[in-house]
Each structure stands twice: as structure tokens, then as C-alpha cells.
Structure 1
Amino acid sequence: VFGPGASGSAVIQDSDNPLVEAVTSAYGGSNFLSSFINIAGLAGLVASFFSIIFAYSRQTFALSRAGYLPKVLSLTGRRRTPWVALIVPGVIGFLMALTGNGAVLINIAVFGATISYVLMMLSHIVLRRTEPDLERPYRTPGGVATSGVALVLAVLAVIATFIVDPTAAFITLGVYVIFLLYFGLYSRHHLVAQAPEEEFATIEKAEAELAGS
């Protein structure tokens, strides 16, 4: 927000470190504030690595356990650590980082995130409609109206990604298509009904069988 006002958009539009560049430009050179922002930003980035590693490994493990991804990704060690789900995505991320094209990688991550936001908002709306009596320890303020507004904003963000970086958008779409083909041709026939991730599907199937009988 303050970066363009401090130094003008021309200074920071192509910068890999826009906030530091803005402060440096505004004060005529490197200073304590720009150094502090740089160090604080680096510390925050390093700290976020731990949450990212935890999130991607557990998500990969859960999808594998339920049958959506190859079973090997849900292997665990003697301490129940999903070591394969930790290593494989990490290696993929490392190899992508070696390309040195940070801007495209960031836009790929942003596009993937905005797609996930769209799916989360749709899931919230669908569940509120199809499972109105489901126990909910937390209820979204505003309900479906809030998720509806968020859905519109997320869709706009997806469209913006195509405008800003079509290459990144199409690369991400290509990855989605590959996983959808894998699901359609293979994994949907090998889902694990007893997996916690399939709880809703199992309950719905049981209710349908009871209603039919």
C-alpha cells in the first residue's frame, strides 16, 4: 500500500524486493529502516517454511491415504512421520526453484491459491445447502453471503492471474488437468472408503441404502 506512494510505481514494479526498494528510494539510499524491513521479511519467510512443509506433507499424506494419490505417498516411518510425503514435494519444489524464474513460480503459487479459494467458497456454500443440520463448532459470520462475496473476489483473482501472467496460469492449469485425468482414469476406482477423508461419502452412501430399503 505504502510502497508506490513512497517511491512511485516505476521504481518497484520490476523489483523482487519492492518494499525495501521503496524505502531505499524514498530515503535516498540504504538505511536502518530498509535493513530492518529486509531482515524482518527474511525472518518471516524462513518461519513460514515450517508451516508450508507441515501443510504440504500432511495434505499429500491425507490424499494418498484416501486413494486420491499413489499409496506410496502415505508411507510413514516408525514415528508415524509421513516421510515420503515430506520428501517428494520438497524435491519437486527444489527442482522448480533451480529454474531461477521466481516471478513465474510466484504467479503459479498465486494461481493455485486462488483456485483453492474458489473451491473452498463453493464447498462452504454447497455444504450449507446440502448439510444444514451438520454440527458446526464455528459458523462463518454472514453465512453464505460472506462466502458468496469471497467467491466473487476469488474468481476475479483467478481472471487477473490470466491477465498478469498467462504462462503461469496455463502451466498451473496443465498440472490440474494431469491430476484430474489421474483421478478420472485411475484413483476414483481405488478410493479407500474407510479413510477419514471419505467420511461424508460413506455416511451418504449408508443413508441412501437405508432409504432404499
Structure 2
Amino acid sequence: MPGLSQQLLRRKPIAPPRGDHEGPELARSLGTFSLMMFGVGATVGTGIFFVLQEAVPDAGPAVVVSFVVAGIAAGLSALCYAELASSIPVSGSTYSFTYHSMGELMAMVIAACVLLEYGVAASAVAVGWSGYFNELLDSTIGVALPDALSYSPVPYEDNVTGLVNLPAVVLVLLCTVLLVRGASESARVNSIMVLVKLGVLMLFVVVALTAFEADRFDGFFASGSAGISAAAGTIFFSFIGLDAVSTAGEEVRDPQRALPRAIMGALAIVVAVYLLVAFAGVGSQPLAEFSSDEQQSAGLSVILENITGSSVPGTIVAAGAVISIFSVTLVTLYGQTRILFAMGRDRMLPDRFAAVSSRTLTPTFNTVVVGIVVALIAGFVPADYLWDTVSIGTLVAFSVVAISILILRRTQPDLERPFRVPGYPVTPVLTIAACAYVLSGLAAVTWLIFGTWLAVVLVFYAVWGRHHSRLQTGEHEGASL
């Protein structure tokens, strides 16, 4: 029996790119375009449809700089993800990369980060989607759901409360049903929704620029570096789509080529769209209007209604959000299930989390579990409690990916790397520094929530996971320290 320190530091051996993993396998049915749309689908929409009105009160017009800061951190991280995804194309993303590079204990720490990241992100987006759904109902048929069925019962400052956020629950359950049907079906639906989303956002940019006034950028840096950092921390969670691409490693045809291309392509689209919408949005209305209650429920559609005096453009944006933000929830739920699948196959969770349907080749049990848990969070917790909690999981995960690059370059110098991080070792070091800067802007309560969740996961590992791990039972040959 290995000692405690050996258990905590043992590393999972790297399997060949196309299989030979112990346990169940997933079907390889995805190509580069589908993967790229996964990345865009998980990011564009989350940051723009909802977070602009959250971030502008912190940074003022310099919110554009906050998007740049978050984009630089995400871009550096994307380069690191591209290298690891091309050399270790497996399910599990950051969790699996860390297990190979830093050992079992750190893999569980990162599992806590990414499970928090994906689960809370899916819930937060579903809550925001509910606001757009009500906006669309009201502007098209003049009817909206009552507050009791539109808001959670948990109070947050002066927000409206109800019994349950029913639209958010329904959205999560619909996505769960689609994921159970199969990855290729989900990818096709997601690609259509992403194209709709991009078209709607370009409509917003064009209309918003008709009301653009340069003096709305006066006092550009009035909020100072603290405001920019705080806004960047809130914005950063919207870049989790890049990580979602790498969770699909085992379901990709030609993963060593497709994964890096999809990650970098998704990054380019995301950054360009975010900056365009942020610039047009800030220039189109006074800053004070970004923090109103009405803006909080459905931001971009309200901006267009204020500009045009007509409900038609806002209705189109609301309709686009209702259709396309489905894809954000879909992809983040997908990422969550594939991380749990990898953990179940490693026996860090019970075997049922790695059970694969013989008909659809999807992890049905864990998909249903994820859907139920996320639906409960979306139905009963306000989005205000969720935004920054997502950011902290993302930032820690991105930092550890960069650290894994540094470690594997030394411990596995002969590992096949179809894509190599340019500017090594400067790029990984800058990634860590950029993530640390954004982390510094997060509130103390966010760290408290994160620390509590991390403690829960580590207690589970100490009591159950380390005793059932495949490395503990000797089913992984060649495990190393």
C-alpha cells in the first residue's frame, strides 16, 4: 500500500491519443467547426447579454479595457490549453491535465474548481435567460410570467423574490434531454444557435452605433485600476467556453489537429464580438442607466428600445437571446458531464458517473444528475450570488493549465506536441500573472464560497476518492511520482 504522500502525489500515466483508456469510451463524432462553435456557444452571450450591465458600474467607460484585460488572460490561457489538448486529447480538460502533470491531490483541487465553474455558470446563464424569456413574452403577446414563477425565493439586496425561477429550471432540463440524446445531435443544435446569436449581436452593434456619442467616454479612467480589475474579474467567467472545447477531447475526429484550431478560432471570434458590443453599448447610453433594475433583467434589448423608441429591435435581441443562450447552457452542462465522466472512469467518483449508454454512447446517469443539480441552483439562487463564483474557478483552472505546461515540458520532454505554446516559457508565466491580477479584484465573499466548496471536495477525496482511485487499486499501470 502506498503511503499518504505517495497517494497525494501519484500521477496518472498519459495514454495514446486515440484510446487505450481504462474504462468506458465515448464516440468520436465531432469535427473542428463543431468544436469551434462549442467554444463560441459557451462564451458569446454569457459575457455580453448579461455581464455588461454588471461590469460598467465598476469600471465606467474603461470597461472596454476590462474586456481587453480578461481577453489577454484568456488568450494566453488558450495557447496553453491548445498545447495540452493536442498532446493529451482526453475528456476532463483541466482535471485530466492536472492529474497527468501534478498528481492526484491537485487533480481533485482542480476538479473542485472546474465543477464549480461549469455548474454555477450554467445556473447563472439560465437565470439570466429567464429575464429575456419574460421580456420576449411581454413584447410579443403582452403577457409575462408572475413574479412567483420568475424569481428565486432567496433575497439579494432589493431584488424581487418569488417561489421559483421556473423558466431557468425548464431551460436546464431541456438541455439535459438534448445531451442525453447524444453529442453529435447537441453539436448540430448548438452550431445553429451560435450563428443566430452572432447575427443578433451584430444587429445590436449596428443599431447602437447610430446613437454613439464620444463624450460618454469622458473620465475614461475615473474608476481607476481597482475598478478595471473588479470588472475584469466579473467579465472573465464568460471565457469558460475555451475550456469547454478541451472537455470534448475523446469525442473528436483527429483531435491533435482539431482541438488547437478550434480553441484559437473560438478565442478570435469571442474577443472580437465582446469588444464590438462593449464599445457600441457604452457609447450608446449614459453610464448611470447600466445599473437600473430594468437593465439588470434584460440589458441589450432595453438599450435598443431606448435608442430607437421602438420595441421591435429589442424584441429581436430578446428573441435571439432566448434562442441562442440555450447554447451557453447546453455547452456548459456538456463540459460538466465530461469532467464527471473522466473522474468516474478514474474511480475518483462512483463508477456510475462513467457509465455510458450502449445506444447513444453518452454518460446518461451523470448527465441526469448534473441537470437536476443545476436546475435546482438556477431555480432557487439569484444570479447575483453566482457571477464572481464562476470567475474564481475559471481563473484558478487557467493558472494551473499554465503551470502544467511548465511541468510537462520538464517531466515529459518527448511527449508528442502537435501544437506548442509560442514564446515558452514567457507565455505560461504571463498567463499565471494575468490570472493572478484578475483574481486580486474578486470580493472576499467569493473566496469564502470557493474555500468552503474546496473543503467539501477535499473531504470527499480523503474519505472516499483516494481509497477507490484506479491508481490505488493498481489498474493504471505505470503510475509515477
TM-score interval w.r.t. the shorter chain?
0.7 to 0.9
CA distance in 2: counterparts of 1:30 and 1:109, whole angstroms: 35
Q: How far is 1:24 from its partner?
A: 3.3
Q: Which residue of 2 aligns with 1:81?
A: 362
Deviations 1:34-77 (A, max 9, x none): 33333333332112333223221121011111022233322233
Q: 1:90 aligns with which of 371, 379, 389?
A: 371
Q: Distance in 1 between matches of 2:290 and 2:469?
A: 48
1:172 to 450, 463, 470: 450
CA contact (8 A) 1:67 1:191 kept: yes
1:167: how far off? Answer: 3.2
**Of 88, 105, 111, which residue of structure 1 is paired with 2:392?**
111
Q: Is the 8 A contact 2:466 2:472 kept in 1?
A: no
- The offset of 1:6, in angstroms, is 1.8
Runs of at least 5 residues in structure 1 that lack an aligned partner in the other structure: 209-213
Instruction: Report the alpha carbon displacement of residue 91 of structure 1 after superposing the two structures with TM.
Output: 1.0
Which segments of structure 1 move beyond 6 Å, counting only runs of 4 or more? Answer: none
- The aligned counterpart of 1:66 is 346
Q: Secondary structure at the match of 1:186?
A: helix
Q: How many residue pairs are counted as aligned between the two chains?
A: 198
Specify whether residues 154 and 17 from structure 1 end up closer, same or farther in structure 2 by C-alpha distance, changes over 3 A only.
farther
Q: Secondary structure at the match of 1:77?
A: coil
User: Equivalents in 1 of 2:447, 2:298: separation in Å?
Assistant: 23
**Matched-pair contact (CA < 8 Å) for 1:65–1:71:** yes
Q: TM-score, normalised by structure 1?
A: 0.79
State the Cα distance separating 1:146 from its structure 2 match.
1.6
* 1:7 counterpart residue number: 285
Read off the aligned partner of 1:112 and give its amino acid letter: G
Do structure 1's residue 55 and structure 2's residue 369 form an aligned pair? Answer: no
What is the Cα deviation at residue 28 of structure 1? 5.6
Paired letter, 2:462: G
User: In 2, are the aligned partners of 1:60 and 1:74 still within 8 Å (CA)?
Assistant: yes
Q: State the percentage of identical aligned residues.
A: 22
Alignment partner, residue 466 of structure 2: 188
Q: 1:24 aligns with which of 292, 295, 305?
A: 305
Whole-Å separation in 2 of the counterparts to 1:187 and 1:97: 28
Corresponding letter in the other structure for 2:316: F
* CA distance 1:128–1:33, change in 2 (3 Å): farther
* 8 Å contact from structure 1 (residues 105, 168) kept in 2: no
Distance in 2 of aligned mates of 1:167 and 1:44:
31
What amino acid sits opposite 2:350 in the alignment? P
Cα distance between partner residues in 1 of 2:301 and 2:447: 28
Match of 1:99 among 380, 383, 386: 380
CA distance in 1, matches of 2:309, 2:425: 49
Q: Measure, in 1, the Cα distance between the counterparts of 2:350 and 2:441.
A: 33
CA distance in 1, matches of 2:291, 2:427: 32
Larger relative CO (CA 8 A, sep 6+): 1 or 2? 2
Quick check: 1:146 aligned with 2:424?
A: no
Instruction: Tell me the alpha carbon deviations over residues 161-184 of structure 1, each in whole angstroms, 9 at most, x when there is no partner.
Output: 22xxx4344223211221122223
Distance across 2 between alignment mates of 1:32 and 1:149: 45
- In 1, Cα distance between equivalents of 2:338 and 2:434: 28
Q: Structure 1 pair 4/189, CA: closer, same or farther in 2 (3 Å)?
A: same
The answer to whether the Cα contact below 8 Å between 1:7 and 1:23 also exists between their aligned partners in 2 is no
Report how far residue 5 of structure 1 moved. Answer: 2.6
| 1:100 Cα deviation after fit | 4.1
Name the SS for the 2:348 alignment partner.
coil
SS in 2 for 1:49: helix
Distance 1:44 1:76 in 2: 28
Return closer, same or farther for 1:169/1:130 CA change in 2, 3 Å cut-off.
same
1:57 touches 1:85 (CA, 8 Å); kept in 2?
yes
Deviations 1:90-137 (A, max 9, x none): 111111111240121232222222222122222222222322221111
Q: Give, in angstroms, the shift of residue 88 of structure 1.
A: 1.1
State the partner residue of 1:132: 413
1:43 — aligned with what?
323
CA distance in 1 between partners of 2:452 and 2:309 (Å) = 43
